[in-house]
Structure formats: C-alpha cells, structure tokens
Amino acid sequence: MALIELSEIRDAAERIRGKVHHTPLLSASLLGDRARVRLHLKCENFQKTGSFKPRGALNKVLALSPAERSKGLITVSAGNHAQAVAWAARQVGAPCAVVMPEDAPRSKLDAVRGYGAEVILHSDRATLFDKLDEERESRGAVFVHPFDDPVVLAGAGTVGLEIAEDLPEARAVIVPVGGGGLMCGVACAVKAVAPGTRVIAVELAAGPGLTPALQAGKPVHVSRPAMTLADGMTPPFVGAIPLEAARLLVDEIVTVSEKEIVAAMELLLTRAKLYVEGSGAAATAALLAGRVLLPEETVTVAIVSGGNVDLASVCAAVAGAPLQAGGGTGAGVPR
C-alpha cells in the first residue's frame, strides 16, 4: 500500500490555495503549562464548513476532469465530510448527493442541503455503505471517500504541511483518529519534512479502531459508541491507506475517555476561547489527561480538527447530563 508522497501534498496545497483557509497555529501557554510543554493549537475549527474536511474534498473535486464532475459527486456521512463534499461541489457547480442516516442531527441535514446537495436518507446505519453503492451505481456518480482516497488524504496532509512550515521547531504533533484520514495526511507530511518529530495518534477509549486494525493487519469493522460528542472518531473502520501510515509513521497511539474530552472542551472554551467539537478536543485531552507524556518544554502541536457541535449538547455535557441520541454531529458514520 503506497503512502502519500510529499509532492502530492504540496500539489494539493497549490490546488486549494486561496480557496480554503490557512488556519492559525495559536499558542496556548496556560494549557501547555499544565502538561509542561510549549503547546500550540492548529485551529481547523476555523476552516471552511468548520473542520479540516474541505481540504481533502476540494482537492479531490478540483483534481477531477470536467467530464467526471458532470457525472456528479456522491458520498456517505452525517457530519463534517458530508458538509465538506457538498461545499466543494458547490464551488465547481457539480451535482452532489449525500447518503445520510435518518437519525442524523437536523442541523447537519440542514447544512448539507444549504450547500445545495441532495440528501438521501437511509434508515439503517449498518447498511449505509450498501445504500451508497446502490446510489453510486444507478447515478454513475464519483464517490468521494471520507478517509481512504489518496487524493483526499493529500488534501488532509496540507494540515501537517502548514504545521511543519509555520512551526519548524515543533517536536510532537498530536492528532485525533477516526477513519484515519487526518492522521495519515499529517503523518506523511510531518515525517517527510521533519522526520524527528513525533506523531501521536489519539483514539476514543470506548471504541478504538486503529489499534484493532493494526493487530489484525487489515481494516476491520469495530463496535463504536452510539452516543458521544466525539462522533468524528467513530466511523465503522479505519482506512487501508491510513492503516499503513500508522504502521510506518506513527510513534505512539493513546486513548482518551469521554469525560477527558468533555473536560478539554470546557478548558478550550474558557481558557483558549475556542468552541470545538469532541473530536476537535481529543488531542488536547490526551495531553492534559496525561495520556501523552513528553519531555518538559517540548514544542507540541495539538490539532483541533473541527468545531461543529450542537451548543445544547456541549452545555449538557459540561453540566454532567447524559448525552442524547443525535446530540453530537452524526455518531457512527464517516465524516
């Protein structure tokens, strides 16, 4: 399985330059002091549509020929990836359809429709990919995979490229893992530019997918929690390309609990003034909870992967109320 080359990531950066944000890398001294590191936050919550996802989606769309775009795009998701593909399709005037579960949060359904995409509702989350295959075959549309397409992954890699170029003294990068697309792109970029920088992957303790796949030596379907604020970390499996990147390039894999994520969300909101989703807080949570142990004063980057989360759910979680179904951003499906 071929990894993503630095040249592909640089090509993606040029292709999407000026069309997505070069997101800020903000120092977080107070939070860093708690972990005794020099902490910076890569704020993808400020990206178009509120997450890192448009980088890969737009790179894929712009790499297609006019004839391919005319066939339309299709994907499957109930969260950030759905919005990103819908947004990217609108940029080039391409038709777009998104297979989404019927119980997806209403705000996410409205956002996808707001970008002009057709929403195809499906009742059974377990067979969402079957529905996708059915629709793709009948429409002849181009599938934009959330986390296992090399062109999409090269776009995600621009996050790592910006970190390496903006903060060359960084010696550790912490990245959340769901399907593994962000982890793969970041690891490929960072290790190519600065091989000595540690890349640390963070999984959800209640439903890790990367570790079981590494143990099996192949992508495997895993059981994930139905209700979590970190639903971006709960797709049904990790992609094959990200799995290979993890095997070759990731230095450490840790897990964080829902409680630790909620605590990090609260601190990011009150101390760093950043409104983030559970997945976006996971990297910071791993550091603050002591899951990641680094030498004192290590220049460290925690990637804040997105900020799309319902305000009521955040308030309830911080207050200690149990999560309700649909309270996150589309649990259990790829983003």
Amino acid identity for residue 305 in this structure? S
**Residue 18 zone, left/alpha/beta (φ > 0; ψ -120 to 50; rest):** left
Token representation of residue 42: 């890569």
Round to whole Å and give the CA distance between 281 and 318: 13
Residues facing 51 on adjacent strands: 306
**Of the candidates 30, 46, 40, the residue with the CA atom closest to the CA atom of residue 197:** 40
Is 299 in contact with 38 (CB distance < 8 Å)? yes
Q: Which residues contact 162 (CB under 8 A, 6 or more apart)?
A: 22, 23, 25, 42
Amino acid identity for residue 23 in this structure? T
Degrees (nearest 5) of the Cα angle 55, 57, 63?
100
Sheet holding 96-101, edge to edge: 118-122, 96-101, 73-76, 142-143
Active site (catalytic) residues: 53, 305
